[in-house]
Structure 1
Amino acid sequence: MTLVIIGPVTQDVIRIGGDESHKVGGATYYQSFVFEEFFSDYLAFVNCSDESLVNDFPDLSKVRLIGKDDTHFFINDYPDRDDLNVRHQLSNFAQVPVLKSDLEEILPDDIDAFVLNPLNRYDFPAETVDYLKSFGVPIFLSIQGFMRIPGDEVNGNYTIKLSNFDDLTNVLSGVNAIFMDEAEANMIGMGHDVDEMVITNGSHGSRIVSEDEIKIEAIKCDNPVDTTGCGDTYMAAYISQKLLSKSSEIAGNFASRIASEKIEYSGPYNKNR
């Protein structure tokens, strides 16, 4: 069973209580570490201009670079070290879309599921999403990128605002599961043509909405260090269990535990830590 995860790799600045570090980031990057541990038959397709960024992935043999003329840049600022639920973000809002033509010659013949990780609404044009739907396999989609628009300019980057995406209904139609936080869920509402909506809320836990609603408790972390990529880690851990035919409740509780373990140290998930 081959899982294909697609989305930008990023250059990130992480500021926590005044301390600053520079790191590789992006949902596909953080997720690859989780899949490496729990669902190792995957390929990661990443779009950026800086090919050196792929060197930080856990297994370079599983990474495929889609070369572009720019790279996503994010500043993740946590002003209060004791409350990592509060984050201020800036982005350059790079326009580096993954096109159907980018994928046609490089996707493997045997694909069992897709994970799509847009970081802004330029990343996955409707034609690309429709092309991936034509494979007839499960699609797991993070909606955060489709909801993001640039706000105020700050030193050449932009604050991130949320806004409804006019074509979101068509994008979501036929997708198996979508992942979002509570702010995004409040904006798009519940009535979409998907099997599951997985909604995270930081230290307040998560919920999974299908025919019923399953509430997942957050697992307390006594020493939170870095929450960047926590939602991406949760998403990958959840998907890894669903692909192994686990129930949504089992998958949610597993994802909560893995996400809690990830925030105890800086960087992506690593079970050896």
Structure 2
Amino acid sequence: MKDFLCIGHITHDRIITPRMPDGIDCAGGTAYYVAWAIHHLPHDIDFGVVTATGNDLSHEINKIKDAGIDITNLQSPTSVFFENKYGEDINQRSQRVLSKAAPFTIEQLKDFNAKIFHLGTLLVDDVSPEVVEYLSDKGKICIDVQGYLREVRNQNVYPIDWKDKLRVLKSTDILKVNEFEIEVLTNGEKDIKQAARIIRSWGVPEVLVTLGSYGSIIYADDHFYEIPGYAPKKVIDATGCGDTFTAGYLYARIKGANYEEAGKFAAAMCTLKLEHTGPFTGNIDEVNSIIQ
């Protein structure tokens, strides 16, 4: 029985920024950023990853295995290939999907057990409602909503509403959204707190709203916790910040932190991650130093 099992596709990412106009290629995806973030924290929770990739990412899977991270790779004919393009404002990006991976099935996941399943969806068909409902009978469900709000048309990614949201959110214990996703999810509600209340009314007890460089809001137990954004020394790459936030938040909650403590811990991890390309590579002392 894992404390925390992350299920999601590790991806081939191409990241383009004003400082890197030609782009760099690297691994990515929720499962990738969460795995490395947890790896760099004390190894005092039982954590694992389930992913599905093509042969092109076998070297990345081997790196993760060699680091001692418990990872299961379910073979897929191809990997997810994302192109992420950022402007001067790191809170804005455009995306293209150049290839997709096979979705996860109940049959593939029947032997996995965890107290918390974190579903890192990247595209709308990654994890079906049936799979979410199946896993919710085994443990708590945390969902990063991003993939359920992405429609791919001619390789370009467009925001859409999520037709199965009321069904899936009934089985969801923790939902992670950003300020743009929560507006799409609640049919245009611009008041963040009111939007969080709407999601709570759909059956989600814990709503995490990241606001980019402006911090985050956690809505739980009918109370709003406003978490500051800690300024980084420099801003290099925001890719994976939302995943790093969720990793830190779940780690801290599993370790007994309250909502506000977990939010601050997660925010400090994001600050360290922003300062370089790739996943979080800091340590718990650096995280605590930022909070203090």
Same fold (TM over 0.5): yes
Matched, 1:52 2:54: no
Displacement of 1:63 in angstroms is 0.8
Q: Who is 1:194 aligned against?
A: 204
> Greater share of helix residues, 1 or 2?
2
Matched, 1:4 2:15: no
| Structure 1 gaps, min length 5 | none
Aligned to 1:97, the other structure's residue is in SS state: coil
Displacement of 1:87 in angstroms is 1.5
The one-letter amino acid paired with 1:43 is G
The one-letter amino acid paired with 1:197 is V
Q: Who is 2:146 aligned against?
A: 144
Displacement of 1:37 in angstroms is 2.9
The one-letter amino acid paired with 1:204 is Y
Matched, 1:239 2:250: yes
CA distance in structure 1 between the partners assigned to 2:205 and 2:99 by the alignment: 30
Contact 1:93–1:150 (8 Å) recurs in 2: no
Bigger Cα displacement from structure 2, 53-62 vs 31-40:
53-62
Identical-pair percentage: 26
Displacement of 1:201 in angstroms is 1.3
The one-letter amino acid paired with 2:91 is N
Q: 1:218 aligns with which of 229, 233, 257?
A: 229
Bigger Cα displacement from structure 2, 89-98 vs 189-198:
89-98
TM-score, normalisation: structure 2: 0.85
TM-score, normalisation: structure 1: 0.90
Displacement of 1:199 in angstroms is 0.6
Q: Who is 2:193 aligned against?
A: none
Contact 1:3–1:115 (8 Å) recurs in 2: yes
CA distance in structure 2 between the partners assigned to 1:115 and 1:85 by the alignment: 23
Aligned to 1:44, the other structure's residue is in SS state: strand
CA distance in structure 2 between the partners assigned to 1:114 and 1:164 by the alignment: 23
Aligned to 2:157, the other structure's residue is in SS state: strand
Aligned to 2:166, the other structure's residue is in SS state: helix
Deviations 1:179-224 (A, max 9, x none): 0111111122323201111011111111111211111111011311
Aligned to 1:2, the other structure's residue is in SS state: strand
Deviations 1:117-149 (A, max 9, x none): 1101110012211111121x2211111111110
Following superposition of structure 1 onto structure 2, how do residues 81-120 of structure 1 map, counting pairs within 5 Å?
83-92=89-98, 94=100, 96-105=102-111, 107-108=112-113, 111-120=114-123
Q: Who is 1:206 aligned against?
A: 216
| Structure 2 gaps, min length 5 | 187-197, 287-292
CA distance in structure 2 between the partners assigned to 1:180 and 1:56 by the alignment: 29
Q: Who is 1:266 aligned against?
A: 277
Matched, 1:170 2:171: no
Aligned to 1:73, the other structure's residue is in SS state: strand
Runs of 4+ in 1 over 4 A off after TM superposition: none
Matched, 1:36 2:47: no
Contact 1:9–1:24 (8 Å) recurs in 2: yes
Q: Who is 2:189 aligned against?
A: none
Displacement of 1:249 in angstroms is 0.5
Q: Who is 2:190 aligned against?
A: none
The one-letter amino acid paired with 1:4 is L
CA distance in structure 2 between the partners assigned to 1:121 and 1:134 by the alignment: 22
